[in-house]
Structure 1
């Protein structure tokens, strides 16, 4: 009976953490979608596309700064949460590493806007977009996820980003106001990050970062960083590539649909994140059993989401954007709709199973091959079929990741 009580308590904690992580994902993905139709209309396709291209570049810097800590640090914190001295040391080691990576990323951005014509044209919009990178670096999601305390920090995160999302409607009034979009988004991330950081200090003592520890955690997370960077080669580079080769207007059209598809992932990301800390402490046999158990429910939910997008694509675009140009590309939205199903399943292996068993190398190999494959495919198909080629490339890559993930899952689980 006592074991049943503790199991129920653990299940309740996982569920509550899922709800809080879902709210954070909502702040990160759903809130921008509230302002999306307004921005598309107010900024018009070209300026909106420019903002989305700058945001896509910021995503790449976020991957560098995060360095895979969303998985490796979360796992380590979940193991150290009862050992305050070790937890404190690890906390400051991770933050020191993030600070170094943030400075490195900003210097890299300065180089890009100094030497590449595409970025030279509007350098400030890329600098302002870097605020997202700073905010993500500061916000200790990995820490609170690891100690399984998401409640208060979630409300702070959502409140700050809601305020700055609403402010867009009062500040961005014409196309020339496009620079205020990255400024306001960045401020939302930075302020919520600072408040989150201050709350985290309540659980740790100060400890001077140790160089040897920084080297160790950097080495352990390197595979994850490479993997996450590869993920963004096929998930976030499309808008950036279209901006280079097809212009900011086409990039804006693609981004407006991609944002809607990415929002469907916000259902699964917090689910896997809330399960991960507990799952990573279990035996291999139990991890395998749990993964198999949730495969069918995930598959069914993915089919439903993809079906809704494919069947209602034109109506959804008209309802949200009220823009004839965007709606005329509804076939793109139908193609991208398949990602809702494919990514739900491939994240089960890539985001949950392999990290839980600490098979970072397997995960890295799958994602690096997929990222390089996608980059080459999108250049080829994008050259011949423009925006349609990019959408097809994205779906094909997601499908191949699913096949590779399922194959290695079965092989690893033998």
Structure 2
């Protein structure tokens, strides 16, 4: 790797670490504040609504961080192709947001569990409008991670600022998702307009037939991105269906904590993905880095959780505090498992264009997790959710490893 490539790689890595560090500091620091202001129960109601909406946010991103990034990385100097990709992604997102809102309206109008908190779910759904204009996939494809840094930081900063100013009483919890939606909409909208002007892109929406063709041809990438990125959200949602609001809050805290420890893996996977697609000889080195760091983070998460939770959350209930520690200890293998999934799956099988195989692995592992969650959560509540979450990730990692080894044997 020459000096120019090393500099470019380092710049992208530092940019993503910066944004994630700032984002985590702001959002994790906000959780104790929100619990103090609105209480554990109301925070749990908010977490349940956000679990549903975040699933739809990932639903809108129809595998773009994989398929569109891969296409853009190979054609970033072809302005005609760039415009084509831009219009494809925007058209598909616009179509999918219509479907998402149809489903949301059906849920809040006809399903009692959602109907009783209709206003909260509808306000939370505003996050979808902000995400419509998100261009994360675009900057990933161009390998301009510094723009992702700036956009994510500014939107999070606006969100945190609005929360501190307006969330003062317990009943204000309904406005928390609105603050998040405003931050995302303002910054994403400005970046969207900026890209249109800089690249002289003319927005031309695809026909329904063309959208149908796109959805069909990119379905595997969609599955490979949607299900892995929503497993934590699905667990929070399932706990919300079977448990009480305070158990949802604790499960979401556990998932957030785990996400913080998995951030390094997420960043390295994002930076490595365009690189290993250009030069497959980098696959082994990237995998060793992902596995090594994941293993170390899992150890820190297991042994350090009591100290970290005690100094992060000021939970009044001793039971809530102990349950949070138990959840995090159960979830501690996940950073290592995420490293294995990234090393053998995203930066392994997908580099060999085994999108369909990887999508089947994703579906099997996710369905296994959901079924196990539905069995265990009614009996063990949040602990059942944690066990199901880890078991699903373990199966995902094992299947990715097994089929990657088969593929390598076939290639060589």
Corresponding residue number in structure 2 for 1:20: 15
Corresponding residue number in structure 1 for 2:193: 198
Give the whole-Å Cα distance in 1 for the aligned partners of 2:178 and 2:18: 22
- Alignment partner of 1:221 out of 211, 218, 222: 218
- Alignment partner of 1:393 out of 383, 388, 391: 388
Corresponding residue number in structure 2 for 1:316: 308
Corresponding residue number in structure 2 for 1:234: 231
| Residue segments in structure 1 that go unaligned for 5+ positions in a row | none
After superposition, what is the alpha-carbon deviation per residue over 1:233-269, rounded to whole angstroms, capped at 9, x for unaligned? 6332111111111111111111112111111222221
- Alignment partner of 1:338 out of 333, 340, 359: 333
1:181, distance to aligned residue in structure 2 (A):
0.8
1:41, distance to aligned residue in structure 2 (A):
2.0
Give the whole-Å Cα distance in 2 for the aligned partners of 1:195 and 1:224: 28
1:35, distance to aligned residue in structure 2 (A):
0.3
Corresponding residue number in structure 1 for 2:268: 271
| Residue segments in structure 2 that go unaligned for 5+ positions in a row | none
Corresponding residue number in structure 1 for 2:40: 45
Give the whole-Å Cα distance in 1 for the aligned partners of 2:289 and 2:206: 44
Q: CA 1:116/1:29 → structure 2, altered by over 3 Å: closer, same or farther?
A: farther
Give the whole-Å Cα distance in 2 for the aligned partners of 1:356 and 1:213: 26
Q: How does 1:87-98 map to 2 (within 5 A)?
A: 87-98=82-93
Between 1 and 2, higher relative CO (CA 8 Å, sep ≥ 6) is seen in: 1
1:214, distance to aligned residue in structure 2 (A):
3.3
Partners of 1:136 and 1:189 within 8 A in 2: yes
Q: How does 1:11-410 map to 2 (within 5 A)?
A: 11-26=6-21, 29-201=24-196, 202-206=198-202, 208-211=204-207, 213-231=210-228, 234-282=231-279, 287=280, 289-323=281-315, 324-329=318-323, 330-410=325-405
1:218, distance to aligned residue in structure 2 (A):
2.1
1:27, distance to aligned residue in structure 2 (A):
5.8
Using structure 1 for the length normalisation, give the TM-score: 0.92
Give the whole-Å Cα distance in 2 for the aligned partners of 1:406 and 1:195: 42
Partners of 1:68 and 1:228 within 8 A in 2: yes
Give the whole-Å Cα distance in 2 for the aligned partners of 1:99 and 1:312: 44
Give the whole-Å Cα distance in 2 for the aligned partners of 1:156 and 1:387: 34
Partners of 1:232 and 1:371 within 8 A in 2: no
Q: RMSD between aligned alpha carbons?
A: 1.9
Structure 1 runs (4+) greater than 6 angstroms displaced: none
Give the whole-Å Cα distance in 2 for the aligned partners of 1:291 and 1:326: 43
Q: CA 1:137/1:25 → structure 2, altered by over 3 Å: closer, same or farther?
A: farther
1:26, distance to aligned residue in structure 2 (A):
4.4
After superposition, what is the alpha-carbon deviation per residue over 1:278-331, rounded to whole angstroms, capped at 9, x for unaligned? 32233xxxx2x4222233332222222111221122222121111134312111
Corresponding residue number in structure 2 for 1:10: 5
Count, aligned residues: 404
Give the whole-Å Cα distance in 1 for the aligned partners of 2:161 and 2:319: 26
Secondary structure in structure 2 of the residue aligned to 1:67: coil
Q: CA 1:186/1:210 → structure 2, altered by over 3 Å: closer, same or farther?
A: closer
Q: CA 1:136/1:354 → structure 2, altered by over 3 Å: closer, same or farther?
A: farther
Secondary structure in structure 1 of the residue aligned to 2:99: helix
After superposition, what is the alpha-carbon deviation per residue over 1:359-387, rounded to whole angstroms, capped at 9, x for unaligned? 21111011100111111111112222222
Partners of 2:35 and 2:43 within 8 A in 1: yes
Q: CA 1:250/1:269 → structure 2, altered by over 3 Å: closer, same or farther?
A: same
1:104, distance to aligned residue in structure 2 (A):
1.4
Q: CA 1:325/1:39 → structure 2, altered by over 3 Å: closer, same or farther?
A: farther
Partners of 1:153 and 1:199 within 8 A in 2: no
1:184, distance to aligned residue in structure 2 (A):
0.5
1:31, distance to aligned residue in structure 2 (A):
2.7
1:15, distance to aligned residue in structure 2 (A):
2.2
After superposition, what is the alpha-carbon deviation per residue over 1:177-224, rounded to whole angstroms, capped at 9, x for unaligned? 101210101111111211221222112421523436534432222112
Give the stretch that moved more between structures: 36-45 or 216-225: 216-225
